[in-house]
Amino acid sequence: MAHRLLFWLLLPVTALQGLWLKRIATRLPGAAGERRGVVGEGPPTHLLAVGDSIIDGVGTGTMTRSLPVQFAAELAAADSRAVHWTVEGLSGRDIGDVIDCLRSIESPASPDVVLVSAGVNDVTGLSSTRNWRKRVRELAEITGQRWPQARLLFAGLPPMALFPLPPQPLRFSLGLRAAAFDRIARQVLEGYPNALHVPTEVNPREHDFCEDGFHPSADSCTLWARKLAGIELGRDLP
């Protein structure tokens, strides 16, 4: 409750900082390349990745170096399988946009794994915690209804309090809100047996970030992808 009050008390200042930041921030494009492909050999696994700029590969240059495709490659290498991947990412999407995409997407095959990244744009867009909780629940239910055999991996919100781009107190305020949203997502998804909240450990104090100060680099996505693959396979990967 105290954190929520502090967030709203800081809003008059942080809102002005946010408007200024939108004007001066470096904007990087999404990754170039095909949005569908296959990596590896062996029994087939189908991966569907849906979400925001992380899924879109912003800052990674090419789609093969984006988080979802590196995740597919890690799964294929670690488990001797052919991972057929489909990427449906777009920078700027909030969780409502992701849900709309999940409702309408026609995947070439029923996915075994659905990787979702959402939340940062809900934080910056001042979504309420009540709406966020409702939307996370809706996301899990839509995924389960469409693909009941699939495992939902929800990439947790990053530690925005450590992002180098936003000035203080905006950085502090974003960090408070992102942490609150991440706790809610974890709590909601605990109620769905086929869903898993995966904490996002990539942060600019320990890992390389892009020049925009807001997105992890392709090299950092390699580490992130390996962590995701280890969680999916139930073991640590070297």
Percent of the chain with pLDDT over 70: 89
Instruction: Name which CATH class applies to 2-22+37-233.
Output: alpha beta
Q: Which pLDDT belongs to residue 12?
A: 62
CA distance linking residue 57 with residue 91, whole number of Å: 9
pLDDT digits (tens, 9 = 90+) for 127-184: 899 999 999 999 999 999 999 999 999 999 999 988 877 878 888 888 899 999 999 9
Q: Which pLDDT belongs to residue 106?
A: 83
Q: Which pLDDT belongs to residue 201?
A: 84
- Give the confidence band of 213 by pLDDT, cuts at 50, 70, 90: confident
Q: Which pLDDT belongs to residue 6?
A: 66
CA distance linking residue 47 with residue 66, whole number of Å: 14
Q: Take residue 27 and report the two structure tokens written for it.
A: 């904007």
Residue 73 has pLDDT above 70, yes or no: yes
The alpha carbon of residue 42 and the mean position of all alpha carbons in its chain are separated, in whole angstroms, by 28
- AA letter at 67: L
Please, which residues bridge with residue 88 across strands?
50
Percent of the chain with pLDDT over 90: 68
- Give the confidence band of 9 by pLDDT, cuts at 50, 70, 90: low
Residue 13 has pLDDT above 70, yes or no: no
